[in-house]
Amino acid sequence: MSEVRGVVVAHGDLAHCLVETTRSISGVEDAFHPVSNAGCSPAALASRVEGAIGGDAAILFVDLASGSCAHTARLVAREPTGVTVITGVNLPMLLDFVFHRDMEVAELTERLAEKARTGIVAHLSGETGRAGQRQDQADGDGLLRRRWAAAQRQAEQPAVRLENSNGSHRARGYRILTTLVDRAPRQVKSSDEQHSCQSTGPGCHNQ
C-alpha cells in the first residue's frame, strides 16, 4: 500500500509554517504539501488543492472548520475516493501523521483527530485555577468518604474463629483495611468457655 499524502490547507502563511515546523521536528521532508488561500479565488484554490493531492489517497488538513479553506477542501474531497478532511490542524496531529502514513486512510483520519484532541490541555491559574484545585480537593474528599463507608461495611462482617493445632487463634471473614479503619478487638469467647457445659446435670465437670 502506498503512503497517504498530506495536504495542509490554511489561511495566509500558516500552511507553510506548519509544514516547515513539522519537517524540522521530524526530519521527514516529503510528508506534506502546503497550500495557501492567499490571493486565490475559490476556483484557483480548488485547483491548488487538487494539484497537491495528485490523484493519490490523501488527508486534507485544514485550519478552520469554516471559511474558504474548509469549503474548498470539502468540495474537492467529494470527487475522488480515498480523500478525507480534518479541520483544526495542529502540530501533534501532523507529527503523528508523519510516522503512520502507511495506515488505511479512514483509520488514520480517526487516529489523527483523536491525537489532535488529546494534544489540547488547559492549565488554569489565578482564581479560576484555585477554583479548579478546590474542586479536585472536593472530589478527593468524596472518594475518601466512599472508601471509608466501604471499609465500615467490611468491618461489620462476622469473623470466623479458628483454632490451630498449637492452640493459637486467628480470625477470618473480613479484609483488614489498615489505611482506612482501625478495627477494635472483637469480644470472642475463650476456648474453655466455648467447650463449657451449659447444663447442671449428671456428668458435667464444670458445675
In a domain? residue 58? yes
Q: How confident is the model at residue 145 (pLDDT cuts 50, 70, 90)?
A: confident
Q: Is residue 26 part of a domain?
A: yes
Number of domains in the chain: 1
Domain membership of residue 138 (yes or no) is: no
Which pLDDT score is estimated for 63? Answer: 96
Q: In which domain, by residue range, is 76 found?
A: 5-118
Residue 202 has pLDDT above 70, yes or no: no
The separation between CA 126 and the C-alpha centre of its own chain, rounded to angstroms, equals 26
- Our separate counts of H helices and E strands in the chain read 7, 6
Query: What CATH number does residue 91 fall under?
Result: 3.40.50.510
Average pLDDT score over residue span 7-22? 97
Residue 190 lies in a domain: no
Assess if residue 81 is contained within a domain. Answer: yes
Residue 72 belongs to a domain: yes
**Does the residue 36 lie in any domain?**
yes
pLDDT digits over 35-81, tens only?
999 999 999 999 999 999 988 899 999 999 999 999 999 999 987 67
68-121, pLDDT tens digit by residue?
A: 999 999 999 987 679 999 999 999 999 999 999 999 999 999 999 999 999 898
Q: Is the dihedral of CA 67, 112, 90, 22 positive or negative?
A: negative
Of residues 27 and 79, more confidently modeled? 27
pLDDT at 164 > cutoff 50? no
Q: Does the global pTM surpass 0.85? A: no
Q: For the sheet containing 83-87, what is the strand order?
A: 32-36, 5-10, 58-62, 83-87
The cell for 28 is: 521527514
